[in-house]
Amino acid sequence: MGNVLKIQCGDLTGRCWDFIAGQWLYICQLEDNLQALETARNQLRELRNDVMRMSINQERPEMVQIDRVGGWLSRVDNAIIEINQLLSKATQARQKLCLAGCCSKNCKSSYTFGRSVARSLKKVTTLMNEGDFKEVVMAEPANQLQANLEALKTAKQELYALKEDVVQNVALEEGPEKMMLQQVRLWLSMAESTITEADELIGDGPKEIRKLNCGDISNYMFVGRVAKKLEDVAVVKAKGVFKELVRRIRAETDYISQLQVDLRALESIVEELKALKKGVMMRITLEEGPQKKRKPQVQLWLSMLEPTVTVAEEMVRNGPQEIEKLRRKDLSSYEFVRKVAKVLGEAVSLRAKGEFKEVVERVLPDPVVERNDKPTFGTETMLDDIWRWLTQDEQLGTVGIYGMGGVGKTTLLNQINNRFASTTHNFDVVIWVVVSKDLKPDKIQEDIWKKIGFFDEMWAKKNPSEKAEDIFYILSRKKFVLFLDDVWQKVDLKDIGVPLPKRQHGSRIVFTTRSYKICRQMEAEKMMKVKPLNQRESWTLFQEKVGNIPPNILPLAEDVVEECGGLPLALITIGHAMAGKDALQEWEHALEVLRSYASSLQGMEGG
């Protein structure tokens, strides 16, 4: 018995040594790794429980769990499940070991298992390091923005009061022999622009809070702007404490000298401002696009720049004349000196503010885009029915519209979309995607993301599952309508990232297809079949497109209408083609061609 075991283990030892050193270590260290993995799992479980207790203790109605914490907890749960599965196989794995655990009766099996154990142990170590959270909850973004806006409003009011105090004190102290200090003038200009910018942010606040509550990530930049402006107001307030507000001017020569210096400086800064504006406008021209518009602060700067430059240029032109008045001791020019100093301060402030790191910001498209609508015939009742389903039936999630090609399915879907564009409703966004026969999931993801996110090169490089996660994150926080036009096979919405409509969420999916079978596969809860027009409706539509028909052509025209099979697209297309045709031969030829292609009419595109 011992000899048999010896021979067997010897053969196994030879085979094990055929493995490279790294593979052998997985087997040799398996016993130690199993013990370490069990200990690490228990420590990870304890850490997970601690983090969960922290979340429970710290969460309030106005607080939410940090996404990073939620993601970590999810990864920990998955890791513990994986470890438990491995440990459940530990006894069987140990029985395969021989030679004091340095070899195995089944090297391949033990190597594979040992490698899985080692990887899990490494994963646990990583999770333990990641789980050292200083904070596990954060203020709800909308609540945080609301608090910051209220703080900004208070800080702005305090800054305004301080500015008014400075202005009043300067008015009391200024006189024929005293002039406001340049740093005071600059501060007043800075305070004025800061107050204007704060007012703009406060005014946009309610709209941006509503976006955040809907899960719109586009305005996280706005949250940052508010926080930054709050800091700016505090800085400007701190600089608004002066020991002196005015300085004494001893003689007319001081006024003349000061005016000459200020005019030269003003002329130089005006040229700089013009060059700066040219550069900003060039950047705006290059960077603005469908999902990018100029920043509000850039637009504000441009609107303030133009009148300042105009006034400054006029002052520079009038400068020599005002200097001569000063030499004649004309009192009216003393006020001109003060105005030049004030405009100079404003110009200096504008120059400082014109160095923009970014001139445009990303914006989401309109919630609903009206589509080019073709003339319709006989769809009014179907339109009203589907509209009622979408807006009144709270139990509804998915609607399928089916019928042969050319029967008017896309036209009907267009009408529904445009009714959303012209009617008040409670949906956050309406999305239109053309699926087509050649199903391309990545193209569907791209079309959806262009509507709800910011499509750029970086996003385009993501893999399909990452794109699906992004789409799901946004749509799961919105009440949406998704139109899928021309569906030829089942579209796996889960792979795309589209959350299935939930009754409590109220979102809707509406698609068009030629097949009733596709409606069932897409799990449409309600279906609408678009039927061909009857003979009377077909003739009315055809006459509307073709115009006057000579009596001798009428029989042929009636045959043409019959061959169109009640398909609106065919009737409209052929009606337009035959408009103004009075020759009998032309109509006979058209009928002959139509009959030869009659079967293809049943599959005309564009329905």
Q: Which CATH class is domain 379-529?
A: alpha beta
Average pLDDT (332-358) is: 82
How many residues in the chain? 607
Fold designation for 535-603 = Helicase, Ruva Protein; domain 3 (1.10.8)
Q: Where in the chain is the domain with CATH 3.40.50.300?
A: 379-529
Band of residue 4 on the pLDDT scale cut at 50, 70, 90: very low
Residue type, 290: P
Lowest pLDDT segment from 24-38, 83-97, 112-126, 585-599? 585-599
Q: What is the pLDDT of residue 484?
A: 92
**pTM for this entry:** 0.47
Average pLDDT (10-35) is: 62
Burial-class residue 81 by CB neighbours within 10 Å (0-12, 13-18, 19+).
exposed
Band of residue 184 on the pLDDT scale cut at 50, 70, 90: confident
Summarize pLDDT for 527-568 with one digit per residue, the tens: 888 887 778 877 888 877 888 887 887 887 888 888 777 787
Q: Where in the chain is the domain with CATH 1.10.8?
A: 535-603
Q: What is the pLDDT of residue 31?
A: 81
DSSP β-bridge partners for residue 481: 430, 508
Q: Enumerate residues 6+ apart whose C-beta is below 8 A from 322.
A: 259, 333, 336, 337
**How many CB atoms lie under 10 A from the CB of residue 473?**
16
Average pLDDT (300-329) is: 87
Band of residue 16 on the pLDDT scale cut at 50, 70, 90: very low
Q: What is the pLDDT of residue 536?
A: 83
Asked if 480 and 430 touch (Cβ cutoff 8 Å), the reply is yes
Q: How far is CA 250 from the centre of its chain?
A: 62
Dist CA 114 CA 26 (whole Å): 5
List of long-range contacts for 320-324, beta carbons under 8 Å, 24+ apart = 322/259, 323/256, 323/259, 323/260
The dihedral built from the CA positions of residue 424, 428, 433 and 439, taken in this order, carries a sign that is negative
Summarize pLDDT for 392-420 with one digit per residue, the tens: 887 788 899 888 887 788 888 888 888 88
Dist CA 482 CA 452 (whole Å): 11
